[in-house]
Amino acid sequence: MANSQYEYVKSFEVADEVMPPNVIVVRVEGRDFRRFSDVHEFEKPNDKRALDLMNSCAVAVLEQYPDIVFSYGYGDEYSFIFKKKTKFYQRRARKILSLITSFFTSVYNSKWEEFFPQEELRYTPSFRARVMSCATLEVLQTYLAWRQNECHVSNLYITCLWMMIKHKKTYEQAEEILKDTQRSERNEFLFQQFNVNYKKLPQIFRLGSCSFMTQSEDTVKYTTNGSPVKRMRRRPAVFQCESISKQRFWKEHQSLAVELGPFENEIGKLNMDFIRSFSFEDKLMPFSWIVVRIDGCHFHRFSEVHEFEKPNDERALNLMNSCAVAVLEEFGDIVFAYGVSDEYSFVLKKTSTLFQRQASQIVSVIVSVFTSAYVAKWKCFFPHKQLKYQPSFDGRAVCYPSSQILRDYLAWRQVDCHINNQYNTCFWMLVKEGKSKSEAQRILKGTQTKEKNELLMHKFNIDYYSIQEIFRRGSSVFRLKEGQLKTVENSIDYLKIISDVVDGRYYLEIFGPLLHLSEQVNVTAIFGPDLAKPGESL
Ligand code: GTP
Ligand code: MG
């Protein structure tokens, strides 16, 4: 089946390349970490374990992505700075930020137990991110100075606040007392009231942490007479530094200057125009469907390492479906999702104002919620398999102005599912029969749907259409009324519901009524809808 009639939908994707010589900075932030820290009983005002976990995630990010040369974080945020000449993912902003957010989330979940051995993860954390582009090193310097200043200001504030709360003030009373106070007053206040010298508090709270690659000596092996053999190795290390935006700091760490250039001048006061530019963000077109498509990063390797069944692993697909359900449960604005292989498309209603339609926030949060669920639910779907390394997903957001085009988008993905599945089914049957991979490729080259079906039937006695629908057609997730759950067991029921609602025309028209039905949130994964043309099979 040709997919070309639908491929025009790709042209709706807009370029978001960060043009050189801009330096790319990705800032990842915890989503609703106030609640997360309450539920998990983080120590107030700062929990060293939580900061160490964040630092450990940052180190993992640096090890994973060598193009990141420096990172700085405090509280629940971390900024990652790419080398000036990076070509990482063709400098595409959303691809980069989603990948970093996803990997960061994955590591945070995986390492939780190491840092909080006594504290069960009660719900999965998620992060959001955005890209800042710094046109000059002065702008980058300002960015770093700004973040470190924010660390200081917010830490001083929460230190005062929690000292008062510990001394029997309510949260609101403490807030009232601190309202309109200056930094020097807060310092003084801590000292006078609680005998706390702010400067003596741990640096990790006051200054935040930075991490970057350093050379260190490592024992790689021992000789026969027991003496150690040492080598210099590059690895990320975490530091607390007084002022990361100062010339002196960059001079002391020449490797940073090599990748980014030296800081020529000292910046004085923070330039508010630069800071305004850091808060600027592109918004997605209003009154258009937003589709966020996420895709497993290097899942070819991931599926090999975790020995997924070929060509399809039902457990892996069910895990993906379950994560999509978690995403729909989290965001009421997502009305439909369609998944196949290592990808999932999430459709947000036209009128959605989620994150004021800011693309990077929407993409990164969806990717993060999905990744968190993937790591957390792994053991339910693969109880006898350890997760050998952290999976990650990238994401993009595309606007489709009409239901017709959105329908074509989904049809495009489903036809792709069909083409790939049919090819892979033939390919792996040939390989299982004893053909080499290149022989199997040669046999299948240039064959059409009909020929592949015949090959399966005559050679292997397989009726392609008897293969499970989850493999042939992908999966959909959407909300249904409670009563409908019983009736939707196969694609015929599914199509009946759709035609009941929209008189048999395009099923996407059901978004309106479905939205209404979604009041009674019941999310389920349903297999086998034919997205190309309701009522006809592929
Ligand atoms: P990028 O997305 O570009 O990072 O590469 P990728 O390796 O993830 O490849 P792509 O997304 O194009 O394709 C997904 C890959 O995941 C497939 O080619 C398979 O190798 C693998 N995969 C996904 N689902 C399954 C499954 O159920 N079984 C097996 N064996 N492999 C799967
Ligand atoms: Mg992939």
Q: What are phi and psi of 246, to 5 degrees?
A: -90, 150
pLDDT tens, position by position, 107-148 = 999 999 999 999 999 999 999 999 999 999 999 999 999 999
> 318 with 332: CB under 8 angstroms?
no
Q: Pick from 230, 240, 237: which is nearest to 215 by CA?
A: 237
Q: Residue 385 CB: number of other CB atoms within 10 A? A: 13
**Is the model's pLDDT at 523 over the cut of 60?**
no
Q: Which residue, among 361, 388, 376, has the nearest Cα to 326 in the 3D structure?
A: 376
Ligand 1 atom 31: residue of nearest CA: 303
Distances 441 to 346, 426, 430, 437 between C-alpha atoms, Å: 33, 10, 9, 6
Q: Is 298 in the pocket of ligand 1 (CB under 6 A)?
A: yes
Long-range contacts at 252-261 (CB < 8 A, ≥ 24 apart) = 253/212, 255/69, 255/212, 255/213, 255/214, 256/69, 256/70, 256/212, 259/69, 259/83, 259/84, 260/23, 260/69, 260/70, 260/81, 260/83, 260/84, 260/137, 260/140, 261/84, 261/137
pLDDT at residue number 480: 61
Average pLDDT over residues 366-384: 95
Ion ligand 2 — residues with CB < 5 Å? 295-296, 299, 342
Contacts of 148 (CB under 8 A, 6+ apart): 72, 74, 207, 208, 243, 244, 245
* Ligand 1 contact via 296 beta carbon (within 6 Å): yes
CA dihedral angle for residue 67, residue 68, residue 70, residue 72, rounded to 10 degrees: 170
Sheet arrangement for strand 77-82: 127-134, 23-30, 77-82, 68-74, 209-222, 228-239
Rounded average pLDDT over 72-89 = 97
For atom 19 of ligand 1, the residue with the nearest CA is 300
- Average pLDDT of the chain? 87
Pocket of ligand 1 contains residue 297 by CB under 6 Å: yes
Question: 266: CA distance to ligand 2 center in Å?
Answer: 44
CB of 308 within 6 A of ligand 1: the answer is yes
Supply the pTM of this predicted model.
0.90
- Whether 313 lines ligand 1, by a CB cut-off of 6 Å, is yes
Q: What pLDDT digit, counting tens, does each position of 387-399 carry?
A: 999 999 999 999 9
Ligand 1 binding pocket includes 344 (Cβ within 6 Å): no
Q: Which of 99, 303, 323 to mutate to test the pocket of ligand 1 (most atoms within 8 A of CB)?
A: 303
Q: Which of 341, 382, 437, 467 to mutate to test the pocket of ligand 1 (most atoms within 8 A of CB)?
A: 341
Give, for ligand 1, the residue of 342, 371, 420 to mutate: max count of ligand atoms closer than 8 Å to Cβ.
Answer: 342
pLDDT band at 363 (very low <50, low <70, confident <90, very high): very high
The ligand that comes nearest to the alpha carbon of residue 99 is 1
For residue 310 and ligand 1, the question of a CB distance below 6 A is answered with yes
